[in-house]
Chains A and B, each alone.
Chain A
């Protein structure tokens, strides 16, 4: 069967200028204009470096995207993954026509609608219903379409009772629900979604994921889905693209792509968390996964020493009753094990402490795991809970099950006492 390519991205590149845009641009503009008149190439297009934000570059121009090529078939759900600043959002912005590419082009056979952030264009003074119409129209629906879907939208949002009340009286959760409800009832040929799943309470998130699955499964809609949530990408997408420093480094089926992403050095980012905005008093400052040499790592062999390091600030009032704990979850959201320790067993003075928690060796089976860390006074005060704060992965480096493939052996192997005797 012929492939029905609905969207084609060809040699797409996008250049940004770093530093203070504004002063000095007039000079560059004139220079550009002058070379345009003389029929020469834009002098600033030749320069520019790949977009690696952690290393300092020489040029003030960078390529946020460089020569991206891919095609999307009708009905495909494609995941786009990559760490922060890899160019995901830039790509989506170009796809949704919010900004133009510097070179290259995108060809499409269908209308593209984006769900870059829900609730754009909501006006606080207008009622829920008025906002549904306005928001729907902004997203590209006609009044008639919205009218015919109004009942469904209101029902889906669960805000029926408030629908004639100005949105400024809504709780933030309700606003998000209503906004997502409008967006979920869009009918474009290609839907572009960026991280919307981070909104709402758990119940609503479930509903949202379900709705997205419906959209892609039943109506054969083409979806481009950008997310950091690997579980969501895995469950929704059929194919995925990994971006790194503005270029495509992997394209293929979702599981391979997620594997690739986690294995690449990209993964070190997810093994280290720094609290950018800590409380004045007691708080968790950093969480990281460490290997036997105390280097940050998100990747371990089956028999490696794995250490979880939590850096925390302890205040006087916390010392006596406070405790730190963590939970390890597998990919299916099951808790594998947990552990907790009271602070007063170790600490007498206030200050900043590193707690290094060594996991028992050769227990966790090869898979991906996520860590939840909590800092609290039990049953009294929650200081901080960090869900999925770091991830790590255990590679198959010779557990006793490496001979088998595709069988679920659970998450841990326990050192059972076997005894096999003759009758």
Chain B
């Protein structure tokens, strides 16, 4: 046999490096990523009458309900001069983005087993496409938020206390960390569910419970005042920090400090890396265990 046979393009072997994310390969499949995003966006509301309008309806109605129940009925304060509807809309928009990233990626393997069982492409493309799809959705919902913001500021006198802070320039960072946090958790869960299906049941109500621990419909300060003993649960939840920071940047109310932001950033990165490692380990053999 010839000597020149040593320059192999690649090798398929059972050996697994801890992190085997071949970025070059992911880049090669960038068109697939975009096509997946396109597919996700255009097929969701096919054959519906309202179509993309559903993107607006869901957060708006939830905000109205939250405002009615938590603010008008239970009298939870939302900060001086800040309309509670805007307060809730901000929280829900962010929470939705995180939630959809998490739930959307958490069934990566089980939903795509037909596809994954037949063709190879970097599996990480699928969860990435979910996060990007949700980013599009989130972008649209932010526009709704801005629209109502403008309405409250210019057409009513209720929004006297709401004013954006200069830290608003860091919003892309918040979105980034929300994205990778949801992605990381989703990848961990999707990998584990290939073997242990129990997690599938945990995720649906777990996410719902988590919402109550993420300062979505109440300010962190209020929770601390009312339930000081268990407030650490909410305080060290990275989603609390992100939502509070988002409301601080846009509405001027909320808990925002550099150490907390660093903690959240670090937390998200660790979860994301952990997710990548587990996802990578799973993608090679999951088709045999699912």
Asked if B12 and A108 make an inter-chain contact with CB atoms under 8 angstroms apart, the answer reads yes
Check A108–B10 contact: CB distance below 8 A: yes
Query: CB < 8 Å: which of A100, A110, A134 contacts B285?
Result: A100
- Knowing A25-B195, A100-B284, A103-B14, the reply to whether A109 touches B39 (Cβ < 8 A) is no
Q: A97-B120, A100-B285 are in contact. Are A138 and B12 (CB under 8 A)?
A: no
Q: A5-B2, A101-B14 are in contact. Are A22 and B42 (CB under 8 A)?
A: no
Residue pair A98, B287 in contact (C-beta under 8 Å): yes
**Which residues of B lie under 8 Å from residue A108 when comparing CB positions?**
8-12
The digit string for B1-38, where 1 denotes a CB below 8 A from any CB of A, is 11011011111111000000000000011011011101
Q: Which of A29, A104, A107, A133 contacts B35 (CB 8 A)?
A: A133
Residues of A contacting B225 in the complex (Cβ-Cβ under 8 angstroms): none
Would you give the 0/1 interface string for B100-136, flagging 1 where the beta carbon is closer than 8 Å to chain A? Answer: 0000000000000011111111000000000000000
Instruction: Known A16-B288, A22-B195; judge A137-B8 contact (CB<8 A).
Output: no
Tell me if A123 is interfacial: C-beta within 8 Å of chain B: yes
Given A4-B2, A125-B46, A134-B35, A105 contacting B11 (CB threshold 8 A) = yes
Q: Are A143 and B118 in contact (CB under 8 A)?
A: no
Assembly CA distance A114 to B119 (angstroms): 7
Please name all residues of chain A whose beta carbon is closer than 8 Å to the beta carbon of B29 when the two chains form the complex: 137, 140
Interchain CA distance A98-B2 in the complex, whole Å? 30
Residues of chain B with a CB closer than 8 A to A57's CB: none
A137-B12 in contact (CB<8A): no
Which residues of chain B come closer than 8 Å to A151, judged between CB atoms? none
Residue of A nearest to B47 (CB): A125
Asked if A117 CB lies within 8 Å of chain B CBs, one says yes
Is B119 a contact of A126 with CB atoms below 8 Å?
A: no
Tell me which residues from 87 to 138 in chain A have a Cβ below 8 Å from any Cβ of chain B. Answer: 93-111, 114, 116-117, 120-121, 123, 125-126, 130, 133-134, 137-138
Sorting the interface of chain B by its residue count into under 10, 10 to 19, 20 to 34 or 35 or more gives 35 or more
A138 touches B32 (CB 8 A): yes
Q: Is the CB of B14 within 8 A of A120?
A: no
Does B166 sit at the interface, judged by CB under 8 A?
no
A109, B9: Cβ atoms closer than 8 Å: yes
Tally of A interface residues using CB under 8 Å: 49
Measured CB to CB, the closest approach of chain A to B9, in angstroms, equals: 5
> Considering the chains assembled together, what is the distance between the CA atoms of A26 and B34 in angstroms?
38
In contact, B39 and A134 (Cβ under 8 angstroms): yes
Query: Are B35 and A117 in contact, with the CB atoms below 8 A?
Result: no
Closest chain A residue, CB of each to CB of B289? A21
B43 beta carbon closer than 8 Å to chain A: yes
Closest to A25 in B: B195
Contact of A126 among B28, B31, B43 (CB under 8 A): B43
A-contact 0/1 string along B256-290, CB 8 Å cutoff: 00000000000000000000000000001101110
Check B119 against A123 for contact (C-beta < 8 Å): no
Known: A133-B35, A137-B31, A137-B32. A97 touches B118 (CB 8 A): no
The distance in angstroms between the C-alpha atoms of A3 and B14, with both chains bound, is 27
CB distance from A315 to the nearest CB of B (A): 39
Q: Select which of B5, B38, B196, B285 is within 8 A of A5 by beta carbon.
A: B5
Return chain B residues, CB-CB under 8 Å to A2: 2, 4
A5 to B284, CA, bound (A): 26
* Cα distance A143–B30 in the bound complex, in angstroms: 9
Query: A111 to B9, Cβ gap below 8 A?
Result: yes
**Cβ-defined partner of B9 (8 Å) among A96, A100, A110, A126:** A110
Which residues of A are in contact with B by a Cβ distance under 8 Å? Answer: 2-5, 8, 16, 21-22, 25-26, 29, 71, 93-111, 114, 116-117, 120-121, 123, 125-126, 130, 133-134, 137-143
Pairs across A and B, CB under 8 Å, 20 listed: A2-B2, A25-B195, A94-B12, A97-B120, A98-B118, A99-B288, A100-B12, A100-B284, A102-B14, A104-B14, A108-B9, A108-B10, A109-B7, A111-B9, A114-B118, A125-B42, A130-B38, A142-B28, A143-B34, A143-B35
Known: A108-B8, A139-B119. 7 other contacts (CB 8 A): A22-B197, A96-B120, A101-B12, A105-B11, A109-B9, A117-B118, A120-B115
